[in-house]
């Protein structure tokens, strides 16, 4: 199987971000970047499905620094990388999907995997849009995947149940938590990744129709307050939860 995995370089989920001087980007000083955690499920799934003679190609849209993110996936075991270079990732998901589709359409891929979201912008969009542009069926947020010959079955968790979807490959799948347990990049893999090829070319971004106007941090949480002690405080607590916090 020839599998493409589309990944994204995102700020470490443990990082406390600050809004940059331009008001529409984060201040990258001192921020550690990682492989988007949902993309780890996609990389792992691809590695488990790569058969003898198969290939796992990692594709990303991003700045030069995204090569480091590609190398994380190569260290996990992917075969080669493609960096579609753009200094600034546009806020318009379709513009990115077009760049990916242009790269993937003649690649002869049997399966194209994405993480279901990127944890930096929470768009949920690029994977499904890319599928549409490629004219391929797409299952989003898959938690289980089986491929038997050309037939693909994927499970999704929906409110209160499981949805089972079926289609032919080639197909696009966006991966959810629970699909697998991503491996650690072993130290040998980290060394081997240095020798694996990464092709860099300009990203053929589509037209950008959406622009990010402002980026702001959530308001600081108010300090807690103690309404009283013991059983006697319960009526007042209930009143506040109902009338003030309106959570009951």
Partner 1 sequence: MAAAYEGVDFYDISAQLSEEERAVRDTVRAWVDDKLVPVINEAYIEGHFPKELIAGMAELGLFGANLPEEYGCAGLNNVAYGLIMQELERGDSGVRSFASVQGALVMYPIYAFGSDEQKKKWLPKLASGELIGCFGLTEPDYGSNPSGMITTAKETANGWVLNGAKMWITNGSTADIAIIWAKTGAIDDAKSIRGFIVPTKTKGFSSKDQKGKLSLRASDTSELVLQNVEVGKDALLSKTGGIKSPLMCLTQARYGIAWGALGAAMGCYAEALAYSKQRVMFKKPIGGYQLQQSRLAEMLTEITKGQLLVLHLGRLKDAGTMRPQQVSLAKRNNVNVACDVAREARRLLGANGILVEYSAMRHMANLESVYTYEGTHDMHTLILGEDVTGIAAFE
**Which value, to the nearest 10 degrees, does the dihedral of the CA atoms of residues 139, 69, 81, 137 take?**
10
Residue 201 CB, shortest distance to partner 1, in Å, is: 21
The answer to whether 40 contacts partner 1 (rule: CB under 8 A) is yes
Residue 222 CB, shortest distance to partner 1, in Å, is: 17
Residue 224 CB neighbour total at 10 angstroms = 6
The count of C-alpha atoms lying within 13 angstroms of the C-alpha of 115, restricted to the half-sphere facing its C-beta, is 26
- 44 or 103, CB closer to partner 1? 44
Contacting range for partner 1; rule: CB under 8 A; set: 33-41, 46-54, 198-206, 229-237: 33-41
By CB under 8 A, name the one of 7, 57, 61, 75 that touches partner 1: 75
- Which residue in this structure is represented by tokens 């037209």? 207
Q: For residue 116, what is the DSSP state? A: S
Angle subtended by helix axes 93-104 and 126-134, to nearest 10: 50
Q: Point out which residues pair with 57 in neighbouring strands.
A: 4, 80
Residue 247 CB, shortest distance to partner 1, in Å, is: 25
By CB under 8 A, name the one of 77, 90, 170, 185 that touches partner 1: 185
Q: Could you tell me which residues come within 8 angstroms of residue 27 by beta carbon, excluding any fewer than 6 positions away?
A: 17, 18, 19, 20, 21
Question: Which residues, 87 to 106, sit near partner 1 by CB under 8 A?
Answer: none
The answer to whether 72 contacts partner 1 (rule: CB under 8 A) is yes
Q: How far apart are CA 31 and CA 16, in angstroms?
A: 8
Residue 108 CB, shortest distance to partner 1, in Å, is: 30
- 14 or 229, CB closer to partner 1? 14
Question: Which residues, 189 to 208, sit near partner 1 by CB under 8 A?
Answer: 190-191, 194
Residues that bind partner 1 (CB under 8 A): 12-14, 30, 34-35, 37, 40, 68, 71-72, 75, 182, 184-188, 190-191, 194
């Amino acid at each position: 199987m020839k599998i493409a995995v589309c990944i994204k370089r995102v700020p470490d989920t443990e990082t406390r971000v600050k809004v940059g001087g331009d008001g529409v980007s984060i201040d990258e000083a001192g921020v550690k970047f990682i492989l988007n955690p949902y993309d780890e499920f996609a990389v792992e799934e691809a590695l488990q499905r790569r058969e003898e003679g198969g290939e796992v190609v990692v594709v990303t849209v991003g700045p030069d620094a995204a090569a480091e993110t590609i190398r994380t996936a190569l260290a996990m075991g992917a075969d080669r990388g493609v960096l579609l270079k753009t200094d600034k990732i546009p806020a318009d998901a379709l513009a990115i999907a077009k760049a990916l589709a242009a790269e993937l359409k003649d690649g002869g891929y049997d399966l194209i995997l994405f993480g279901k979201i990127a944890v930096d912008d929470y768009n949920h969009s690029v994977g499904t849009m890319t599928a549409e542009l490629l004219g391929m069926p797409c299952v989003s947020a898959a938690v289980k995947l089986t491929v038997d010959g050309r037939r693909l079955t994927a499970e999704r968790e929906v409110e209160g149940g499981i949805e089972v979807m079926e289609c032919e490959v080639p197909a696009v799948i966006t991966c959810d938590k629970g699909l697998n347990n991503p491996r650690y990049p072993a130290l040998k893999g980290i060394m081997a990744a240095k020798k694996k090829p990464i092709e860099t070319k300009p990203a053929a971004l589509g037209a950008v129709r959406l622009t990010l106007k402002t980026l702001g941090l959530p308001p600081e949480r108010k300090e807690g307050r103690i309404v009283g002690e013991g059983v006697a405080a319960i009526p007042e607590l209930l009143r506040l939860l109902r009338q003030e916090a309106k959570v009951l």
